Amino acid sequence: MRILEQMPAWTEEASFPPPAGARPAAVETLSIAGVPWVTVFLLLAALWILIAAGGLHQGIALPGLLLYGAKATPLILDRGETWRLFSANLLHKDPLHLAFNAFALWNVGGALERAVRPADYLALLVFTALGTTLTSAIGADSISLGASGMAFGVLGASVSFGWRRGVRGSLRSYFGLRIVPWLLALFAAGVGSAGVDNWGHAGGLAVGVCLGFFLTPRAWPGEAAARRLAAAAGAFLGTLALGVVAAPALPALGPLRDGPAGAQMKVPLGWRRAGATADRASYSNGLTGGFRSSATLFVAAPCHGQACGCDRIVKAAVEDELWRLAEVGRLKQLQLGPVSPAGRVDGVLEGDDGQVRVSAVCLSRPVSPAALIVMQPPRGSASLVDRMAVAVTWPASLETRAGR
């Protein structure tokens, strides 16, 4: 699909009137002559990641997408991996996916890069990348990736930049309101297609349109553009730092959810129900393989003496059914350590496809014992099971933890 007219050479020029109150140094000629090096390096980086992830021939499977930085809201909220808000924009699942986004970025982003201050263009890329994945993380919990949100961002910026600066001449095909029909058609195509992150598209587009009003032509003085780039750099570093600082306190627990036997429990934000029976309720982050985490509140049958030991209750529950939630293939073995005075037991569940860490806290009840069992990747939060156990409530009263 042709988005814009072909650009055989980066040599066209157009004129536009200066804005009211423009400084004398401002020029009135807009040019897209030259090579859009930032766009070139951006596309080469995306190609290199695709090759490194092994997706050049057969595409990248879901575990590989998660490993190489796809946007996964549970990993951002559970581990503080805020770097995914940027890396997801460079990751593509296969060559065709990259080709579609590269076409739009080359034709639209390349022209915009040569028309505006370099600092402005870099700031635009940073802010649209962040706006794309942040909006997607808030609006949808699906895994997403690709530079399409940035492509919509540069499209939106080209519209508002051209309209704001009153671009005339042949470059009206690249800047201004003439792009709007193409933009709307592309957005509508995404809305009507399955598996498209329309939240991300909308976020990138909104950010691009807003920033386009402030972009300045390349020949103009660059003080304001430098400030915008500094703000973009601050947003980039601040986003990464936020994840590092917040990671020790994550995952953050959400509101009370239903558990077995009338109990209520708090699970991390964004987790979904993974199963429920009369004696258990399970929730997970919805991911697969080595990125999956789950929590189960299990109510054991009435017992007496040694059979009520915390390690025995946890071992029986995990080996009976809960091991399937770990998604590590066929169960090989479960090794549990001693029970702590606080009623906590830790161990490792090993399967054919890997292993997970098992942490459990036993809860005292008047009728029968219960256990909160959390299974996470080896790098998961060590404090999650304790924070969740404190928040468990039963119909009549809040139970306290007690080792059996």
Alpha helices in 20-88 (DSSP H): 37-52, 62-67, 73-79, 84-87
Q: Which amino acid is at 230?
A: A
Backbone phi, psi, residue 173, to 5°:
-70, -20
Q: How far, in Å, CA of 330 to CA of 353, rounded?
A: 8
At residue 307 the predicted structure's pLDDT band, cuts being 50, 70 and 90, is: low
In 3D space, the residue among 107, 187, 196 whose CA is nearest the CA of residue 152 turns out to be 187
Q: How far, in Å, CA of 207 to CA of 175, rounded?
A: 17
List CB contacts of 118: < 8 A, sequence separation 6 or more. 38, 218, 225
Q: Which amino acid is at 303?
A: C
**391-to-79, 94, 262, 343, 361 alpha-carbon distances in Å:** 20, 44, 14, 15, 12
Are 341 and 401 in contact by the 8 Å Cβ rule? The answer is no
Ranges of each domain in the chain:
13-248, 251-390
- pLDDT of amino acid 32: 86
Coil, strand, or helix at residue 402?
coil
The answer, yes or no, to whether residue 360 has pLDDT greater than 50, is yes
pLDDT tens, residue by residue, 94-121: 999 999 999 989 989 999 999 999 999 9
95 upstream amide cis, omega within 30 of 0: no
Are 366 and 237 in contact by the 8 Å Cβ rule? The answer is no
- pLDDT of amino acid 305: 61
36 upstream amide cis, omega within 30 of 0: no
Q: Rounded to two decimals, what is the model's pTM?
A: 0.84
pLDDT tens, residue by residue, 48-101: 999 999 988 888 999 899 999 999 999 999 999 999 999 999 999 999 999 999
Helix (H) or strand (E) segment spanning residue 281: strand 280-284
Q: Which amino acid is at 7?
A: M
- pLDDT of amino acid 290: 86
In 3D space, the residue among 32, 25, 38 whose CA is nearest the CA of residue 172 turns out to be 32
Q: How far, in Å, CA of 108 to CA of 31, rounded?
A: 14
Q: In what order do the strands lie in the sheet with 344-351?
A: 272-277, 280-284, 294-299, 370-376, 354-363, 344-351, 331-336
In which region does residue 261 sit, left (phi positive, over 0), alpha (psi from -120 to 50) or beta (all else)? Answer: left
At residue 403 the predicted structure's pLDDT band, cuts being 50, 70 and 90, is: very low
- pLDDT of amino acid 268: 95
Domain 13-248 and domain 251-390 have a common topology: no
Q: How far, in Å, CA of 294 to CA of 347, rounded?
A: 15
Q: What is the chain's mean pLDDT, rounded? A: 87
Q: How far, in Å, CA of 329 to CA of 350, rounded?
A: 9
Q: How far, in Å, CA of 172 to CA of 182, rounded?
A: 13
In 3D space, the residue among 197, 196, 356, 362 whose CA is nearest the CA of residue 285 turns out to be 356
Provide the CB-side half-sphere exposure for 52 (13 A, CA).
12
DSSP-assigned letter for residue 144: B
Place of tokens 């575990």: 63
pLDDT tens, residue by residue, 259-283: 998 999 999 998 999 999 999 999 9
CATH class of 251-390: alpha beta
CATH class of 13-248: mainly alpha
Q: How far, in Å, CA of 301 to CA of 124, rounded?
A: 60
Are 132 and 72 in contact by the 8 Å Cβ rule? The answer is no
